[in-house]
Chain A
Amino acid sequence: MMDKEKIKKAVLTAESCSDYSDDYEEELCDDENISCLNCRYRRWIKGGFECVKGKYSDE
């Protein structure tokens, strides 16, 4: 589970991220906002997520 602060940060980060891209519809977690939680580049880890965009940045 993620705490409220992390969820808020995920929204702020995604709002200003030019790489944000919607994940599949069925995998969107935040119903209200653009958020890293809904981005196809987030990878779940225990207690949160990591952004793997860097891994794909040459594409």
Chain B
Amino acid sequence: MKTVYICIDDTDNIDSIGTGEILENICDRLKDEGIAEGGFVTRHQLLISDKIAYTSHNSSMCSALLTDDTEAVVRFAGEYLENNSADGSDPGLCVYEPKGSDTSFLTAFGKRAQSEVLTKDDAFNTAKLYDGEIFLSEHGGDGSGIIGALAGIGLRLTGSDGRIKGKIFPEKEGERLTCRDFCKKYGAGQAIDSETLKKIPDDETICFEAVTKAVYRDFMITIVAERRGDLYVPVPKKLKNKK
């Protein structure tokens, strides 16, 4: 099995499910079909600009997959987007199978997409540098989602960009665990100090008080926790509710 990356962008409209949920659905279906197994989804923020008309989010969603058949992933995900993206959206798909090429052009493209308005030509020109490794395709509308899809792969490959989709709930509020056990239990690779951004040592105590969100850092699911006396507390993500 090899690791390939999949990223999609611009699949939603105001009434539809979000792009992150579409990617999770694609991963579930790929698993059901026996094509690939997906991991967690990362969200990567791209440029907010008034040159990108009425940007609702301008973020892309990326996941790593284990598969033996990259072409089947590309085919299946492309068809899925064509059948399930929202009306009026401009879906783009990027699948990347690393074969040892220098990834710096890809990561640079991702970073540029956070500070510049890029075009579809920019995306195709970068993709051309990775012939046989990058599969970039449009699946409706004006296809401009390929820009974010390629950028999302680049940002994922930096190892430290974006947030993990979904929330992490404490099994029991106020639960105390060593950092090592906390990470193991909640599927994180590490926890970092919210002030210093340094890794919290394995034997420090984490007090898990309330729902939190993880970020993607050092190629790992990372919990951000604040120092409170001799404990660390994961930064809470409050749940809102308004009718």
Contacts and interface: CB of A to CB of B under 8 A. Distances in A.
A, B assembled together: yes
Interface of A: 14, 20, 22-28, 31-34, 38, 40-41, 43-46, 50, 52, 56
A25 B55 contact: no
A46 B51 CA distance: 9
Size class of the B contact interface (CB-based, 8 Å): 20 to 34
A43 B55 contact: yes
Contacts of B49: 45-46
B48 A25 contact: no
Nearest to A40: B14
B18 interface: yes
A27 B59 contact: yes
B119 interface: no
B238 A31 contact: yes
Nearest to A41: B14
A34 B50 contact: no
Contacts of A38: 240
A46 B30 CA distance: 38
A25 B240 contact: no
